[in-house]
């Protein structure tokens, strides 16, 4: 009798061990929990990023004090970004407090104290706004926010603008005012 109880207990223990080894036991719930938690998957301090165009020439350069990419987002957050648009004869430097870089959409969304400065030209154009979206592929910068544009002694204000760096065309969207002084 003791022998049959021992044998039954042994078989029962073997079944439990095999069941625990081969069963999933709800790991999906744990996987969903891990997927839903937000965490930083990429982090850099004092970085420099250079993007090449289709011909292998530098298209733009971005530096910043901090770069963070989270697991559940397509955006990469940049603190104190400085963006250099590196097109021949149409170079711009754009600074802001924060930027969100999206490599899937080829966009950089700049926020807070955005300053866009024309390079290698005198007098240079300076654009100030609070938000700006730059498409790095089409080289179009745009905003719906208030824009202050200064070139030499000329000043323009507008609610919104679209700037095409390929054609050098600037379109002011609404409530445009200011004064223009010709250059010599």
Residue 184 belongs to some domain of the structure: no
* Tens-place pLDDT, residues 109-165: 999 999 999 888 888 899 999 999 999 888 899 999 999 999 988 999 999 999 998
pLDDT at 10 over 90: no
Query: Based on the domain organization, do 70 and 139 belong to the same domain?
Result: yes
What is the structure's pLDDT at 121? 84
What is the structure's pLDDT at 166? 87
Domain range enclosing 23: 2-34
pLDDT at 30 over 90: no
How long a stretch of residues is the chain?
184
Residue 55's CATH number: 2.60.450.10
Structure-token pair, residue 146:
């208030």
Give the chain's domain count.
2
| Residues β-bridged to residue 63 | 48, 82
Query: Based on the domain organization, do 114 and 60 belong to the same domain?
Result: yes
Dihedral angle at the C-alpha atoms of 167, 107, 134, 128, nearest 10 degrees?
A: 180
Residue 182's pLDDT band, with cuts at 50, 70 and 90, is confident
Q: What residues contact 129, with CB distance under 8 A and at least 6 apart?
A: 114, 116, 143, 145, 146, 147, 148, 161
Query: Based on the domain organization, do 25 and 56 belong to the same domain?
Result: no
The DSSP output letter for 138 is T
Q: What is the pTM of this model?
A: 0.74
Query: Based on the domain organization, do 75 and 127 belong to the same domain?
Result: yes
* Tens-place pLDDT, residues 71-83: 888 889 999 999 9
Of residues 12 and 176, more confidence is placed in: 176
* Residue 133: CA count within 13 A, CB half-sphere: 13
């Amino acid at each position: 009798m003791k022998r049959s109880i021992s044998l039954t207990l042994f078989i029962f223990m073997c079944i439990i061990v095999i069941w625990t080894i081969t069963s999933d036991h709800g790991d999906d719930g744990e996987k969903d929990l891990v997927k839903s938690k937000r965490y930083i998957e990429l982090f850099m301090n004092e970085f420099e990023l250079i993007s090449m165009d289709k011909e292998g020439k530098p298209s733009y350069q971005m530096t910043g004090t901090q770069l963070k990419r989270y697991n559940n987002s397509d955006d990469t957050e940049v603190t104190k970004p400085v963006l250099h648009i590196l097109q021949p004869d149409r170079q711009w430097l754009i600074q802001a407090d924060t930027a969100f870089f999206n490599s899937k959409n080829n966009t950089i969304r700049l926020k807070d104290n955005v300053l866009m400065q024309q390079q290698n030209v005198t007098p240079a154009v300076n654009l100030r706004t609070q938000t700006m979206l730059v498409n790095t592929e089409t080289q179009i910068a745009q905003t719906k926010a208030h824009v202050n544009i200064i070139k030499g002694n000329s000043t323009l204000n507008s609610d919104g603008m679209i700037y095409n760096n390929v054609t050098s065309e600037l379109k002011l969207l609404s409530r445009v005012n200011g004064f223009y002084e010709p250059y010599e």
